[in-house]
Structure 1
Amino acid sequence: MKTQVKALVVGGGAVGTSIAYHLAKAGWDDVMLLERDELTSGSTWHAAGLLPLFNMSFATTHIHQYSVEFYKTLEAETGLNAGFAVVGNLRMAQTDARMDEYMLYASTAETCGVPYEWLTPDEIKAKWPLIETSDLKGALYHRTDGYINPADVTMAMAKGARQRGVAIERKWQADAFEWNGTHWEVICTKMVEKGGNLVPSEEQIVITAEHVVTASGNHAQRTAQMLGIKMPAIPVEHQFIVMDRDPALVDYRAAGNVEHPVIRDADAQSYVREERGGWILGVYEKNAPARFEYGVPDSFRADLFQLDLERIEDQYMAMNHRIPSAEDCGLKDDFNGPICYTPDGNPLVGPAPGLRNMWLAEGFSFGITAAGGTGYYLAQMMVEGEAEIDMASLDPNRYGDWMTTEYAARKNEEAYDHVYILHHPDEERPACRPLRTSPAYDRQAARGAQFGQVNGWERPNYFAPEGFSDHDSRSFRRGGWWQHAVEEARAIREGVGLIDATAFTKHLVRGPGATAFLDWFTCNKLPSVGRINLTYALTGAGTTRTEYTIVRLAQDEYYLVSAGAWSAYDSDYLRKAIADKMPEVGYVECHDVTTQWGVFAIAGPKSRDVLRDLVRDAEPDTVLSNKRFPWLTMRNIELGMVPVRAIRVAYTGELGWELHHPIEMQNHLFDALEKAGEPHGMKLVGARAQNWLRQEKSYRAFGNELGRDATPLEADLPRFVDLSKEFHGKQAMVDHGIRVKCVTLLIDGPEDADPWGREVLYNGERRTGRLTSGGYSVAFGKSIGMGYVQAEDAVVGTKLKVKMLDRMWEAEVVEDSPYDPKNQRIRADG
């Protein structure tokens, strides 16, 4: 057995074997896979093996699509049949709202080139007469996926990995991970059978590995404890039952009819597929409990939990309605096993927080579907430095240290029972809330704030009158909240509005080496003392890793502000980069000060008037003027009794300031601002109106327009790139070229809907790109969006089409910052 390898993969399920296979295929010839029991002995063995392609996530859709195509090639390579039944996938809708959801699914799938077709109830009945269709509105049908045998596909990938030189060792458990400065030393224990249990023996070895990947499935909490990190991957019970033979189905197939597709009845929280003349029913019901919050018992191997039929009674009755002939089938077998989840349902794929060359592939609720693509894209990240798609939405660092076991368990239960709910793009899930709140939370709630959650923080999405229900207002079109957001956006354009931006991520970087480090770390010129710059930190591949507003407080002291959703993600990258560069540039300190500073953003043509009533200065009439306080500068000012780090910048594109203040003084400042704003008609404004307003200014957002699949030049931001200096990722960015470009579009869409930022774009019959943001423009009175198109289509005036609600709508590429392109309003003096 080898004791020194380039990469060690821990976990022998479908995900782990795929990673080992793809690392070898990518050129690493010294890879080992370690499994504590037998291959597939975790959740893989009892998975239903479905391969659903449709997903509202761009990255996850690519991952699933790769898996489906990859699995079809395994038999030719390995000689092993992976058990792939390409029967198709039928997503049925009982309501118009569900059809709206499928239209958004379909447009998102189209951005990735996934084929689909629509079926009416009559067409469904004609194809599959055993299905009851009288209560259906229609269905979305994808003919190229289906289901696969999880054990067979895992064994095929394992054989393919061995053929490429991967060593696969079973009955070895990883018991400790120690970083020696250049490599990982993994202490491994031989596992032996004893009384039906798997127990550690006295035999141990140490494997030295340059890279380690954990794909430990249900054992993720044990892995997290050994690594000293937090990981919200906790299993939830999942039940499915296998029915006896259905005579009607047997006769149907005997007549020469093809197998039914996987039948997804989302409104009944279930899926059904054929199984040897009978049916398999799988459900996503409420009250399925999380398990193994603190680790898997040693006695639990390829085991199952007690079936709870009462919990799935409604879904069982719904199946008998949907397939009436199944009502007389007996129960042949049942499965209730653990399947890992995360709070948002997406797996954790990427670098482990705070650790070098430690990679996570954990928390897979759809592990069979995702295994192939995860191996492919994670291998790209490890071997080439970055994947060809933006994997940030799956990054393990999207959860911070504030996350606890209790939070993860309850949110994972919620994610499970939300698999088949209507996934409105404006959806806000209620579990574990409120948790992280700014001091002004109660004041804003009393004024009608309807909160969203970002990185655990409660943040107002919009404000509504008493008695308004955010849940009831959600829609795939313009929901009940839409008019409130319109009024808030208009208030900022015409008067003044106040936004709570406390969730912004904030870092303090200082020390003798701070200037040299940040000059290398970011692509724009550093500001002079008292000024600010917008800049980007790049990946090694030259794409955008993080966006920062950098405020220079002193010669070697900087205040970095970045997106609130990405605190741990930004912090981990920043700290690792400092550690790499500090020997060269000198001492650098980095402090995450997010929770020390609250932020209010005040914006609108009357914002200066509001602040004048509060500012304490020898010359209060001029302290906020362009002469004393120009655009893109920072000043320490006093607003009443509150010392404020005021930054003259506004994400809305109007005259405005960000007011960074000691968080313990937030309520005093809120009350003072509210009182001063009352004579000027100041309105409280939420994130949805702000999102619309920033699109009118073509302000890119990280996680939307900015990500690891495009460079700042492709984002069409050359003004924030200083090519006269050397910075991390510069040459790779230049070599990358410009394949696509970010554009802003005004859209003549439907009267009752706006784009959500997930829609496909066409130039004639040619697919040219996709939207990354969408909404409504109060300035132009129509829909607006931002997105990426092929470079030749990024010319102002180009006529495109965007697919919304299964129809093509006219869209036009407009100049960058179509609202106030010369920034006259944001620079206004007074």
Structure 2
Amino acid sequence: MTDTTRTTQVAIIGGGIMGVAAQFQLAENGWTDTILFEKAELTSGSTWHAAGQIAHAVGSRLAGWINKTSIETYKRVEKETGQSIGWHEVGGFRIATTDDEVDWMKSIMGVGRLLDLPMELVGPEEVAAGNPFYKVDDVKAAVRTFKDGHIDPSSVTMALAAATRASGAKIERHNQVTGASRKGDMWLLKTEKGDVLAEHVVIAAGSYANQVGEWFGLKIPSVSCLHHYLVTDTVPEFLDRPELPVMRDNSFGGYIRQEQKSGLIGIYEGHVCPTVWEMPKGAPWAAENELFEADYDSIGDFLMVALEKMPVLAELGIKRVVRGAITHTPDGGMLVGPSGAPNVWLSCGSSIGLAWGGGAGKVLADWMVHGEAEINTRGFDPRRYGNFATDHFIVERTKDEFMRRHDTPCPGKQFESLRPLNRHPLYNRLAAKGAVFGEIAGWERPRYFGEVGEVEPLGWGHQAWHKNATAEAKATREAAGVIDLCAFAQFEITGKDAGALLNRLSANKLPAKHGRMTLNHLLTEKGRFETEITIWRIDEDRYFTGSPIARAAPDFAWIKSHICDGEDVQMVNLSHDWGMLALSGPASRTILKELTDADLTKAAFPWLSGQEIKVAGISCYALRVSFVGELGWELHAPLEHICALYDALFAAGEKHGLVDLGSYAFNGMRMEKAYRASGELTTDVGPLDVGLDRFVVTEGRDFLGQAALMSRDPSWELFYCELHADGIDIHGGEPVLLNGKPVGLTTSGGYGYTVGKSLGWLFVRKGTPQAGLSVQILDQQYPVSVHANSIFDPQNARPRSDD
């Protein structure tokens, strides 16, 4: 560092659409003391060669909101600056040729209804009318959109840059950042034109993000995959007619649109994913405006189908092939938000940069400036990956994501690559009993129990496994069930200041007595949900916490980051070394009594308490709690003892009717009890928005987010409902309607197998009447009845049972 070291509030590394859009949105929020560093020219990484489509017909509210926000941002910038963005608002068709795809189209219509995106569900006749050159013989349905289209990558980026410069922010081209280090509370960046001290850093480096992340101690799960699109010679039939809509069709894994008076065909191969610059190295610094040789052997079969779909292009020559690197992530979602390193933010891993850039920039700017975004950010929070995300996993799973990009996303569909990635000791036992697994945070968990080797059928309606889940749930309610929850976040927090730490982070009080436990919500400074954990007070200065396994890494880091200098607090993450079996049902006490000398009576071991006991000679943390609303215990123990514990439970429990319980039945029983889960506890709301007032204790306390929480009048509320439909359930993200107009959305749902009702949670605007509501599922409206209390055991007598 020299005497001429410059300082800035925010340094942005990368001058593609993601970096420039982020800088623009920061300026919109008043942060103009920013410098964007680009080693070459703006857009010279991947942005310049993008095809530029932006779609309204997408599968989730989050994706739809991002794309809508991007279009609105770009059009506003064009109007304000007078600089063209190259926007072609031609609309589009998303084609369905199978029954599952038709259901997906119907599901997409719900996204359009939620976000007020103009679209229609149409048949082959309307497709042919909209694009007379497209073959519709096998078309069953399509979603037609009207206000989306495609954009010129360089034009829109330059327009954003012009608006940003006008605000006083700085853009430095041909100034490469070459390294970074921590200096006090700032980051010292080494650049080709001198040192810069920055309070915040945004990594928007695209294919270079891997090596940039290493400067900050980060592993950024982003892989550069090669994508083709081809531009044909001029199409005579395109002359003297309006531009065609964008066509998206899974049958060839891509899209077709008009490029001036030529055709443009983009393909995502479904059988292979060519990658370059694999992590951890990333793209070479010398790479600039890089393109790669076309591989017709790879795309040939898909290209032939595309040409059959649009025969007017079949006899033409190909005048240009673009095969460039585009970043993808293992789950397909971009990386936007805090990285985990202090004041280092990500805006990268974007496979649809033009569609996502404007919306991602807004989310990032809102998060940085205001501490929150207006929409749930969990889906692209960079901290969502845990320790399972090794370099090998990141590359191979990202290849899988690329190849499945044009698969139909039926409910329950998951990636298959590298599975089972992590198998705990029970895996083989459960597989031998017919467990059909789902993956969660790199671990396998039974969804239901069927035949050995059974493949789960998928679809929007009830599937064949419905009867299996029904049997598991009923047996648990009548006798007992045990579910493998070895994939579970478990922390032990000790030290004389451990209680003070947890108390100032939690909206609820800590357990007052040794051995007791409470449900606690940890909030952001803005009073929104950071996470939900159970806290068991083992002893005076010793606590044990439990939460979903997907939150293991971010929760541990977040709690640890709030330990003050000089505090006596130690944290141990047991999540990968310990497992948990949840035993529930009216026979659970009888079963457990045969395996322990501990007094399990209600007086000695009350509900919402825990003890260190031995079960079948194995030392366990036994917590008397049940997420299915039954008498039950969670049994936490080191993984090396889980098999012996499981075998002992079944040896004692078989004669009492003990069964294996899968996650589908578990979720249905959760819904019968009206318990909230992650779908309800999102980053854009807090406890008072979702009816969890009883878990907020303010008197005599000052917890993180308290002032913001108590000063905000909730504008939303949560309804528990029964869906009146046969053979279909709420999945989450569907529109809630009143007199045909959207008033909210569903957050989660499932079938209540032991009450014979389809149940769900509705997030609606405050003041919405409870009568007359419906939910739109697969483009049909189904009425709902709102219930004030849980359908099953509203008095909550069964968990407290002393029988």
Give the alignment's TM-score, normalised by structure 1.
Answer: 0.94
CA distance in 2, matches of 1:44, 1:352: 23
Q: 1:231 is aligned with what amino acid?
A: I
Question: For residues 264 and 524 of structure 2, what CA distance do their matches in structure 1 show?
Answer: 45
1:717 is aligned to 2:662: no
Alignment-derived partner of residue 463 in structure 1: 449
Paired residue secondary structure (1:731): helix
The answer on 1:132 being equivalent to 2:132 is no
The equivalent of 1:756 in structure 2 is 731
Give matches, 1:337-736, under 5 Å.
337-353=324-340, 355-470=341-456, 473-527=457-511, 528-578=513-563, 581-583=564-566, 586-617=567-598, 623-702=599-678, 704-724=679-699, 725-736=701-712
How many angstroms apart in 1 are the aligned matches of 2:459 and 2:740? 29
Residue of structure 1 in register with 2:62 after alignment:
59
* Deviations, residues 19-51 of structure 1 (Å, cap 9, x unaligned): 111111100121110001110011101111010
Matched, 1:76 2:76: no
1:287 aligns with 2:272: yes
SS of the residue corresponding to residue 276 of structure 2 reads: coil
* Displacement of 1:631: 0.4
What are the within-5 Å matches in structure 2 for residues 12-411 of structure 1?
A: 12-189=15-192, 204-250=193-239, 254=240, 257-285=241-269, 286-293=271-278, 294-353=281-340, 355-411=341-397
Q: Which stretch of structure 1 is more off in the superposition, 413-422 or 783-792?
A: 783-792
Structure 2 distance, partners of 1:404, 1:243, is: 41
Structure 2 residue matching 1:594: 3-state secondary structure: coil
Cα 1:391/1:631, change in 2 over 3 Å: same
- Cα distance in 1 between the residues matched to 2:181 and 2:5: 18
Q: What amino acid does structure 2 have at the position aligned with 1:206?
A: D
Q: 1:794 to 1:408 in 2, by over 3 A?
A: farther
CA contact (8 A) 1:693 1:777 kept: yes
Give 3-state SS (helix, strand or coil) of 1:32's partner.
strand
Amino acid at match of 1:160: A
CA contact (8 A) 1:267 1:421 kept: no
Q: Which amino acid aligns with 2:153?
A: P
1:511–1:625 Cα change, 3 Å: same
Name the stretch that deviates more: 280-289 or 291-300. Answer: 291-300
Report Cα offsets for 1:775-826 as digits up to 9, x if no partner: 111233121111311222365xx33100012110010111232311110111
* Alpha-carbon distance between aligned partners in 2 of 1:352 and 1:607, rounded to the nearest angstrom: 43
**1:467, distance to aligned residue in structure 2 (A):** 4.4
DSSP 3-state at the match of 1:827: coil
1:588-617 Cα distance to aligned partner (Å, 9 max, x none):
222211122110001111222221221234
SS at match of 2:406: coil
Could you tell me how far apart the structure 1 residues matched to 2:23 and 2:546 are? Answer: 38
Partner of 2:791: 818
Secondary structure at 1:547 match in 2: strand
**Cα deviation digits, residues 731-790 of structure 1 (max 9, x gap):** 1011221111112110001x2221211211012133111111021112331211113112
Whole-Å separation in 2 of the counterparts to 1:57 and 1:233: 22
One-letter identity of the residue aligned with 1:534:
L
8 A contact 2:516–2:536 mirrored in 1: yes
Q: Which amino acid aligns with 2:209?
A: A
Q: CA deviation at 1:215?
A: 0.2
Matched with 1:806 is 779
Q: Deviations over 1:269-322 (max 9, x none)?
A: 110000122211101112122221122124422111111111111221111221
CA drift at 1:339:
0.6
Contact (CA 8 Å) 1:741, 1:794: kept in 2 or not?
A: no
Q: CA deviation at 1:428?
A: 1.7
Contact residue 91 and residue 144 of structure 2 kept, 8 A = yes
Give the distance between the partners of 1:270 and 1:396, measured in 2 at CA: 27
CA contact (8 A) 1:653 1:826 kept: yes
Task: Give the alignment's TM-score, normalised by structure 2.
Answer: 0.97
Per-residue CA distance 1:550-595 (angstroms, 9 max, x = gap)? 01111111111111112112122112122xx345xx3222221112
Equivalent position amino acid for 1:419 in 2? R
- What secondary structure does 1:72 align onto? helix
Give me the whole-angstrom Cα distance separating, in 2, the residues matched to 1:89 and 1:165.
38
Quick one: distance in 2 between partners of 1:689 and 1:679? 22
- Give RMSD over aligned pairs: 1.4
For 1:442 and 1:300, the matched residues in 2 are separated by: 47
Letter in 2 for 1:129: P
User: Cα deviations across residues 516-571 of structure 1 (Å, max 9, x unaligned)?
Assistant: 11111001010021010001000111111100100111111111111111211212
Question: Aligned equivalents of 1:34 and 1:436: distance in 2?
Answer: 40
In structure 2, list runs of 5 or more residues that go unmatched: none
Q: Which amino acid aligns with 2:702?
A: E
Partner Cα separation in structure 1 for residue 326 and residue 123 of structure 2: 34
Contact 1:230 1:403 in 2 (8 A): no
Q: Structure 1: how far apart are the matches of 2:286 and 2:294?
A: 19
CA shift for structure 1 position 483: 2.1
Residue identity in the other structure for 2:196: I
Deviates more, 1:160-169 or 1:66-75: 66-75
Name the amino acid aligned to 1:372: G
Counterpart contact for 2:109–2:778, Cα < 8 Å: no
Query: Deviations for 1:79-104, whole angstroms, at most 9, x for unmatched residues?
Result: 21000100112101111210101212
Q: How many residues align?
A: 795
Report the Cα distance in structure 2 between the residues aligned to 1:40 and 1:318, rounded to whole angstroms.
32
Q: Say if 1:529 and 1:554, in contact at 8 Å, map to a contact too.
A: yes
Larger mean CA deviation between 39-48 and 268-277 belongs to 268-277
Residue 57 of structure 1: CA displacement? 3.5
Distance (Å, rounded) in 1 between the aligned partners of 2:789 and 2:22:
42
CA offsets per residue over residues 152-200 of structure 1, 9 Å max, x none? Answer: 11111111110111110011122222122311111112xxxxxxxxxxx
Counterpart amino acid of residue 582 in structure 2 = A
**SS of residue in 1 equivalent to 2:576:** helix
CA contact (8 A) 1:74 1:81 kept: no
- Partner amino acid, structure 1, of 2:605: F
